[in-house]
Structure 1
Amino acid sequence: MRDIRRQIEELFCAAADLRGCTAQVVADGAVRVTRPMFGSRVYYMENLVRKAAAVPPADWAALVADHLGTGMVDDEVEPLTSKPFAELRALVRTRLYPESDPADSDCVRRPIAFGLEQRVVLDAVHVIYPITQDMLAGWPVDAADVFALAEAGTRADGPVRLTAADFPAGVPPWFLLSGGDYTSAHALWLGDYPELTGRAGAVFAVPAESSLYAAPFDGVDVLDVISFVLGPLTLRHFEQDPWPTSPHVYRWHEGRITPAVYVAGSGENGLILRPTDEFLAVFDEL
């Protein structure tokens, strides 16, 4: 991945030069682009590098040009932060993110479970803007209202698609959930999908924004789903996909989300699965 990152940084700088900008790699995976009249902006490469890793090298230049062009268009339009709440309320959405680092401390967010948090964002044409505490302070609503509005807007966009899978052999059925840019948020509402819920709810993994997997939780056979499907899939997609979210497996039950199994890599192809005490206690109740 390091070699891909270096090549993407070089392509990004070249694309900026061709657009009359100056570009400089200021850190590993970060490029500062300076435009006349618009000043400087730092572009972070990690998600772009992960996208590039999934396509042929012949497509990298176009991928980089599109990413840079989208950012430059965003710079040229009126900032959403300058618009009144009445014009923005229809754009409010929500999605799940990894637990924040200090750099994201201004985002309006709330914890969901270990490794997961929910944030509210604005769905613009080209980009997704985080709603910040400063923005919220100027609106006639509080955080609870904004989260309710975001959830209503996201759910109104329609349900995600369910694709059932019955492999590998001997493993109970599990499901891939797919949709748009807010697929991860539907982990909050697994009860909307009867196929996904069993007597003890469901287990799910959301390794990246575009990857959401779930299975009914009816008994001990759910451990096979976690061991042979969710665990390996989650770790791989968390390590490789754009917008990584969490490598762990969670339990959904009656609207509540709790950690089920902590997932970590070990060696070349190894996998470490550590069930939580709370998750194991559920089996005594079934």
Structure 2
Amino acid sequence: MLSRRSTLAMLAALAVHPVAATAELRDLAYSNDSPRHRLDIHLPKGEGPFPWLLDLHGGGFRGGDKRLLPVPPQLLQAGIAVVRMNYRLSNQALWPAQEQDVLAAADFLRRRGPEWRLVPERMALGGRSAGAFLAVSAALTLIERDRPPRAVVDFYGPMDFGSMDADLARLGSKPKRRPADSPESAESLLVGYAVGARRDEATALSPVGRLRGMHPATALPPLMIRHGAQDRIVPPDQAQHLRRAWRAIDPDAAIDFALLPDDGHGSAGFAAATIREALAAFLKRHLSA
């Protein structure tokens, strides 16, 4: 962890001598409420200021760490900063603590971002698996607060807890996870009750349920979705549910949607240069001034 003195020294050096190479700031505290409230900033080459992606790790809400998230060089080469953050896990706090952490980090970066050459209003929210659930959830809250992100990215995230088991059953092959309805599932442990016992409630707090409750004239930001067609952990119908719900609220919203035909949950295809280049192009298009 960076000490306060070393952080201040690094910031002073950046202010006096803007770096020509990629710069990194690690373990900045966006809140003092938990040791998990830390984030890293990865800056592109140049003086900036830069648009930025707040990227959220997966791990079934109960594990994972920001350091495990890749920092795609294609994003940095496109002039987009990447911010990786940790949030409280489900064995530390129940939902909605995790969304509150994302909102706290976003607010911190909107206030303090210019110190690190970030343009506060040119933010995208994205994540993978559990992190995608958090990213889309936080984006919807920011939309409700009239502070929408410029873009949203969902990589193989669960989007409706209440329908996950039915979606898996339709695939016709053995799931690679405990049923979401089980009291011991990642989703049930996050919300603090068995999803199967309170299905309507679990759906209502999920992004798809929240979208169904929004005013149909609400303007939504551009959305990028990538999901593995062979995913037996978070079924690909979850991506379809999000796309349909997003489109139902805002038919004019830009949606970049694709299923990876041969990929499962977070498998090798998501690290391919073509996927990272598509992400960079999507963000560059929608984070431009």
Same fold (TM over 0.5): no
Give the shorter-chain TM-score range. Answer: under 0.3
Report 1 or 2 for greater relative contact order, CA contacts < 8 Å, sequence distance ≥ 6: 2
Q: Which has the higher strand share?
A: 1
TM-score for the superposition, normalised by structure 2: 0.26
Structure 1 or 2, whichever has the larger Rg, is 1
**TM-score (norm: length of structure 1):** 0.27
